[in-house]
Chains A and B, each alone.
Chain A
Amino acid sequence: MDFNLMVEISPLLIKAAWITIDISVRSLFFGFFVACGLVFLQSFRFAPIRWFARGYISVIRGTPYFVQLLLVFYGGPSIGFRLDPITCGVFVGAFNIGAYMSEAIRGSIESVDSGQAEAARSLGFGRAQTLVSIVLPQAAALMIRSVGVLAIVVVKNSSLVSIISVVELTYQAQRLIGSTYKPLEIFTLTALIYIIIVYAVMGIIELAYRRAMRYTTL
């Protein structure tokens, strides 16, 4: 292993890692709104709206993220939908993870004991107030974990946007290999940076979870 080379190129990779983080954070941020939208649509009484949301989630879950990305980036322009690579990465990332996240959010809301809502209703709370004051605060704690798992998926998925020439971590690694011909060193370093990002995310999730669960005797 050429350690000198690894030290030498690490600033370039770290710089590219910020693009990875940037794309991931923005995907998650917008993905959260997509997810909330999907949860909301699924609460409609009018069935076709629910079917639309379910259908969308099924399509996203049933197809590879890679294909979704290629379809939007290369297929989009032929119907006039043109996005620059980074925006496309964020856009597809958000709409992809939003589908999974909506399931995670729904799951955490549903896993709050139904006795909680009943107790609130028995006191005279309305539906919305029960959701906001009683159910969501408890669901939030569970959500942190399940959404946290998805945050890690987003970080790892982001390496796929290298295919549409976004100079994030993976693409930068490939470029450096093109000029140095040292794939072992460079990919090892790249993997190491991903691990650091992923474990940092996991650490943040765990802290947030513990904080949200302060009220339990765990």
Chain B
Amino acid sequence: MSTENQTDTPDTPMVEIRDVYKRFGDLEVLKGINLTVNRGKIISIIGPSGSGKSTLLRSVNHLEVIEKGSIFLEGVQVNRPDLKGLAFERHINHIRQNMGMVFQHFNLFPHLSTIDNVTLAPRKLKGMEAKAAREWGMELLNRVGLAEKADVFPNWLSGGQKQRVAIARALAMKPKVMLFDEATSALDPELVEEVNLVMRSLAEEHMTMLIVTHEMGFARDVSDWAMFMDGGVVVEECAPQKLFSNPDQERTRNFLKKHLQG
């Protein structure tokens, strides 16, 4: 065990998922999932469609309410069956301010300009002044290479640009962890790379990330740990080099065979 005491101490758990169960009616979607994401680490989750990847990611910030188990952000429990009504509402809003989420279909706010999409949360939730918010928003847009689109409405942007704005929007609250749910799946192939580049830049800055993806090459490159899910269970998890080239499980091999040749 390491005893070093730096800020990027590798073994501090940022997100902990413990024995999580979730069902939709009769359909059991998550059947006892465990996962620890340490600070600054990047975990990729792969698996066939319908295996529960999105549900797991959405459970982390409580967009899905889990039935059993617990989820922690920096040691603070996210799901709190003991809290009800407004008390829980306050708790979860606070938790969510520390987690950024990026959706497959971007979900940008179409009635707000690009910069307002980015700055709405810091203005409304942190009381940031208009001028400071604009500067902060421009800094973030600059970072994703879209400063010149600040005053444009999202519907005028390409899919790749929309997703980059969505990433900037999620970063605006200075989250401790970023959740990506197939951020590039809805994009035309030629637009995937620009989004991947932004995600890579986050990786270089040691952002903690949980990435659900179909991009095997990208997952292998950026992640510190990879997890293969099927039917609501973790079939196999290990270092990405191993998972993508020499997995232990037959199911993993079959899945990869289909997807690597795509």
B103 near A115 with CB under 8 A, answer: yes
B155 near A215 with CB under 8 A, answer: yes
Is B136's beta carbon under 8 Å from chain A?
no
A123 near B121 with CB under 8 A, answer: yes
Chain B residues with CB under 8 Å of A126's CB are 89, 93
Is A116's beta carbon under 8 Å from chain B?
yes
State the main secondary structure of chain A at its contact with B: helix
Is B10's beta carbon under 8 Å from chain A?
no
Chain A residues with CB under 8 Å of B94's CB are 124
Known contacts being A118-B63, A215-B155, A217-B156, is A124 close to B173, with CB within 8 Å? yes
Is B20's beta carbon under 8 Å from chain A?
no
Chain B residues with CB under 8 Å of A123's CB are 96-97, 100, 120-121, 125, 169-170, 173
A124 near B155 with CB under 8 A, answer: no
Q: Taking CB as reference atom, which chain A residue is nearest B93?
A: A124
* Most chain A beta-carbon neighbours within 10 Å: one of B95, B124, B154, B166: B124
Which chain B residues numbered 155 to 170 have a C-beta less than 8 Å away from chain A? 155-156, 166, 169-170
Q: When chains A and B are docked, how far (Å) is the Cα of A123 from the Cα of B118?
A: 10
Q: When chains A and B are docked, how far (Å) is the Cα of A214 from the Cα of B101?
A: 27
B61 near A122 with CB under 8 A, answer: yes
In the assembled complex, the CB of B109 is this many whole angstroms from the nearest CB of chain A, namely 6
Q: Taking CB as reference atom, which chain B residue is nearest A129?
A: B124
Chain B residues with CB under 8 Å of A214's CB are 153
A124 near B121 with CB under 8 A, answer: yes
Chain A residues with CB under 8 Å of B109's CB are 116, 119-120, 134, 138
B63 near A122 with CB under 8 A, answer: yes
Chain B residues with CB under 8 Å of A58's CB are none
A118 near B107 with CB under 8 A, answer: yes
Q: When chains A and B are docked, how far (Å) is the Cα of A121 from the Cα of B64?
A: 12
In the assembled complex, the CB of A63 is this many whole angstroms from the nearest CB of chain B, namely 38
Interface flags for A174-207 (1: CB within 8 Å of B; 0: not) read: 0000000000000000000000000000000000
Tier of interface size on chain A: 20 to 34
Chain B residues with CB under 8 Å of A133's CB are 120, 124
Chain A residues with CB under 8 Å of B110's CB are 138, 215-216
A113 near B107 with CB under 8 A, answer: yes
A122 near B111 with CB under 8 A, answer: no
Known contacts being A116-B109, A215-B110, is A127 close to B103, with CB within 8 Å? no
Q: When chains A and B are docked, how far (Å) is the Cα of A129 from the Cα of B127?
A: 14
Is B99's beta carbon under 8 Å from chain A?
yes
Chain B residues with CB under 8 Å of A216's CB are 110, 153, 155
Return the contact of A127 from the options B89, B105, B173 (Cβ within 8 A): B89
B153 near A215 with CB under 8 A, answer: yes
Is A48's beta carbon under 8 Å from chain B?
no
Known contacts being A116-B107, A137-B111, A216-B110, is A122 close to B99, with CB within 8 Å? yes
A125 near B124 with CB under 8 A, answer: yes
**A contact residues vs B (CB 8 Å cutoff):** 113, 115-116, 118-127, 129, 133-134, 137-138, 141, 214-217
**Sample of 27 A–B contacts (CB below 8 Å):** A113-B107, A115-B103, A115-B107, A116-B107, A118-B103, A119-B107, A119-B108, A119-B166, A120-B109, A121-B63, A121-B96, A122-B63, A122-B100, A123-B96, A124-B93, A124-B121, A124-B173, A125-B93, A125-B124, A126-B89, A127-B89, A129-B124, A214-B153, A215-B153, A215-B154, A216-B110, A216-B153
16 other A-B residue contacts (CB within 8 Å) besides A119-B166, A123-B121, A138-B110: A116-B107, A116-B109, A119-B101, A119-B103, A119-B108, A119-B109, A121-B63, A124-B95, A124-B96, A124-B173, A125-B93, A125-B125, A133-B124, A214-B153, A215-B110, A216-B110
